Structure 1
């Protein structure tokens, strides 16, 4: 089942850092269908569409933390608040 994650304040901080993290530091995540990012109120927000909840949770628990440490030089003080949504209905034009 499709799973969506929403991060309101990514520790990556900027779209440029996110691009570096996702293209230079981490391998392409298994099960990632799409990613959207932008700045809201000066904070980096990210919406990701996953093939399943398991794909999202595996990426976040095994790859994201080490990748952010490599990008930032240290682990973030706390993990970002992430909203996860099991998609029950969708509309695509």
Structure 2
């Protein structure tokens, strides 16, 4: 049986204005995840991702460095309820 996991990841560093949300969306699609990536007022990016546990783990690992255009200082990971990101796709806004 497939284990479904949903997380909220806050990504800090130079992550706005560098295509971070776009590249996160591409990576999440590649991994088959649903959720979203959005800029926050403090300069960080919030990523909510749901899907197969191993795919979520892979996205978290990717978020630790992000795309080449970004400079990630650190991330914070929070476990959410399994239906927190119930949209069928991954959106960047």
TM range (shorter): 0.5 to 0.7
Shift of 1:80: 0.5
Q: Which has more radius of gyration?
A: 1
**Residue aligned with 2:20, SS:** helix
Decide whether aligned partners of structure 1 residues 34 and 41 sit closer, same or farther in structure 2, where only a CA change above 3 A counts: same
Count matched residues: 83
Q: 2:15 aligns with which of 13, 27, 31?
A: 13
Aligned-pair distance for 1:36? 3.9
Shift of 1:27: 7.6
Unmatched tracts of structure 1, length 5 or more? none
Structure 1's 11 and 32: CA in aligned 2 closer, same or farther, altered over 3 A? Answer: farther
- If each structure's strand is expressed as a fraction of its own residues, which one has the higher value? 2
Provide the C-alpha distance between the structure 2 equivalents of 1:66 and 1:19, rounded to a whole number of angstroms.
13
Cα deviation code 1:12-56 (max 9, x no counterpart): 5226622342367x58331312214131444322222x2222211
Structure 1 residue 65 displacement after superposition: 4.3
SS of equivalent to 1:7: strand
Alignment of 1:21-60 (within 5 A): 21-22=23-24, 26=27, 28-48=29-49, 50-60=50-60
